[in-house]
Every structure is written in structure tokens, then in C-alpha cells.
Amino acid sequence: MGARAKAIFPLALVIGVLSFLWTEFSLNFTFHWVTVSGTDLPGSVGVPQNFHLILPVAFISWGLFFAAGGDNAAFGKIFLAAVFGTVAALITIPLAYKTAAFPDFWGIALWVGIFAFILVLILIAGDWYYVAGTFPCFAAVFLWWVATGMDGWAPLGADTLGADGKTAGLGAFGGLVSTPWAWVWFDTFVTLVCGLILGIVSGKLAALLTPKPKEA
């Protein structure tokens, strides 16, 4: 095995194992372990609670962690990026649907544009602010808001019950993961932090497993 392969293999192995563990944990957490009471029947999945983990979102912050340097400083930069990005989205959503309700998208577009401008403008404050990480975190909230039925903007959103009185309203999985918009933000932020933890753990474990150069 060449020197390059020896350096990369431990990181690849650690990330592969942690990716498996995160996927297994987050999906079971959301669809089996923490679900609305009485809906998790044998051979099926349950309706998630308002708080759940979003499998792909963790990979966003995990990747950003390594893009920012993959060290303790990167952890801090991406954590701040997650705070700024997700809070901006949290403010954007209610402003957007109060400006222009369904089916007009221009209110969403207007406020996304305004906060995108603000998020970039914050660069004036100094190099501690990592806008390249803020934008994906900002987008992650909207990704999950759209995927879960755009509660607040679209009618028949997360507060609508199915004929059985238990299932959620419109959204992904035929309404299974419809989520109130404030919970969309919270779930996204928590999952981004989970991705950061996966990043720092994978970096440190890979460092432990990577062969040290032989002393001359």
C-alpha cells in the first residue's frame, strides 16, 4: 500500500463506519423509536414526532467541517455558520408566508434574497465568519421545510390529520414527516450539530489509526 493510500484509508474506513452508524441511528430514531404513540405497528414505520433527526442534513455539516480544515477551529467556524444560517432561515420563513401566501412564491424569493444579502454582508465583521458554511446551513432549513410540506405557507400542512386521526398532513412520505415550520428549524439545527460531532470524531479517530512516519 502506497504512502497516499496509507494516509487516506483510515479516514475512509472511519467515515464509512460512522456513516453506517449515523444512518442506522437517525432513521430508527425518526421512524421507530421516537414516533407518535400508537402508530408504530409491526412491519411498518411510525409517524415521527415534531423532533426528529434528518439523515442527509448531518452530511452537510460533516462535509463542511472538513472543507473548513477538519480541526477544532473548523468545528467552531461551522458551528457559528449553522447558528447564523439556520436562524436566518427561521426568521425568513414566517416573513415569507406573511408577505405572500400560497400559491405565490415571490414572498419566499424576496426574503431569501434579503437574508442572502445580509449573510454575505456579515463578512465585513471579520474572517471568523465563514459564509461558505453559512449558505449551506441556511439552505438546509429550506430543504427540509419544502420536503415536509412547507408548513405555514402551504394549506393543509403539518397541522392536518389523516382519516385515522393520527397521520400528519401533506409532505414527504405521503405526509409522514410533515413538520411545523419552527420544528423544521430546530430539527435541522440539531442535526447539523450532529454532523459536526461526526466530523470531529471521524477526524480524531482517523488520526489515531493513521500510521505515524518513522523517525529517521
Domain chopping of the chain, boundaries = 55-205
Residue of 95 and 174 predicted with greater confidence:
95
pLDDT at 174: 58
**47 or 91, which is more confident:** 91
What CA–CA distance (Å, rounded) separates 76 from 196?
Answer: 9
pLDDT, average across residues 179-194: 96
Which among 30-39, 173-182, 185-194 has the top mean pLDDT? Answer: 185-194
pLDDT tens per residue across span 100-121? 988 999 999 999 999 999 999 9
- To the nearest whole percent, how much of the chain has pLDDT over 70? 86
The model's confidence at residue 177, banded by pLDDT at 50, 70 and 90, is confident
What is the arithmetic mean of pLDDT over 33-49? Answer: 78
Greater model confidence, 17 or 43: 17
pLDDT at 154: 82
Q: 69: closest CA among 3, 9, 126, 127?
A: 127
Cell numbers given for 126: 471579520
- Mean pLDDT of the region 174-200: 92
Can you give the chain as a three-state secondary structure string? CCHHHHHHHHHHHHHHHHHHHHHHHHHHHHHHHCECCCCCCCCCCCCECCCCCCHHHHHHHHHHHHHCCCCHHHHHHHHHHHHHHHHHHHHHHHHHHHHCCCCCCHHHHHHHHHHHHHHHHHHHHCCCCCHHHHHHHHHHHHHHHHHCCCECCECCCCCCCCCCCCCCCCCHHHHCCCCCHHHHHHHHHHHHHHHHHHHHHHHHHHHHHCCCCCCC
Q: At what angle do helices 55-67 and 181-209 cross, to 10 degrees?
A: 50
| 89 neighbors 66 (Cβ within 8 angstroms) | no
Query: How high is the pLDDT of residue 194?
Result: 98
Mean pLDDT of 148-164: 65
Query: What pLDDT was estimated at residue 160?
Result: 47
Looking at every residue in the chain, the average pLDDT score rounds to 88
How many residues does this entry show for the chain? Answer: 216
pLDDT exceeds 80 at position 192: yes
